[in-house]
Structure 1
Amino acid sequence: MIIDELGYLLIEKDDAKLFFQLIDKRYEKRSTIITTNINFNSWDDVFFDPVIANAILDRVLHHAHVVNITGKSYRLKKYTDQEEE
């Protein structure tokens, strides 16, 4: 499963519980890819509950391969290149 742009919109408390259940059911059984611009230490703000955020992170980061990408947005590259010309 691929979850793209986690944290782009805040997740309400009841939805955070459902999201935890999803991650928990997949934990150590299925692969999950998550993309986000949110630092791990700010996930409390996304889920409105530090206990749930930490439980999700615990499962997501265990056995994880974290890829940190820096630089300009690939989606905006076409437009920024045109402005430079």
Structure 2
Amino acid sequence: MQYWRLSRLLVELTHSRADGSYRKQLAQLSKTQLLILDDWGLEPLQAAQRNDLLELMDDRYGKNATVMISQLPTDEWYGCVGDNTLADAILDRLMHNAHQLEMKGESMRKQLAQVD
């Protein structure tokens, strides 16, 4: 299992491109049984980030589980990608056979802060 804030993972993939470890990092991520990506949709994706996310989703599709966490409803995810063709490709791989859980209520961080 691996947990990443999506923005940090995308920066890491950019760095791995520069240092020549991109393919190795993608291979490692594709083999991870459970990949949790948090904070989807907080920032618009840049062109290279869209391509990296497509590569990652394509490598993982049908092989291992990916959990995408977002404060945005799933019907707003399409606009977060920023390119219609890549949005179709990324979200098709991510959402096909997906289980969607919509949670309501106060933030756990807020609730835990009240306990302290």
Settle same-fold status: TM greater than 0.5.
yes
Gaps of 5+ in 1: none
Number of equivalent positions: 81
1:33 aligns with 2:67: yes
- Does residue 4 of structure 1 match 2:35? no
TM-score by structure 1 length?
0.81
Alpha-carbon contact 1:13-1:47 (below 8 Å) kept: no
Aligned equivalents of 1:43, 1:53: Cα separation in 2? 8
Structure 2: stretches of 5+ with no match in the other structure: 1-34
1:71 maps onto 2:108 in alignment: no
Q: Secondary structure at the match of 1:36?
A: coil
Q: Match for residue 54 of structure 1?
A: 88
Partner deviation per Cα, 1:49-83 (whole Å, 9 max, x = no partner): 1221121111111111111101111111244x58x
Q: Normalised by the size of structure 2, how large is the TM-score?
A: 0.62
Say if 2:78 and 2:91, in contact at 8 Å, map to a contact too: no
Cα distance in 1, alignment partners of residues 88 and 103 from structure 2: 23
CA deviation after TM superposition for structure 1 residue 7, in Å: 1.2
CA RMSD in angstroms comes to 1.7
Give how far 1:40 is off.
2.6
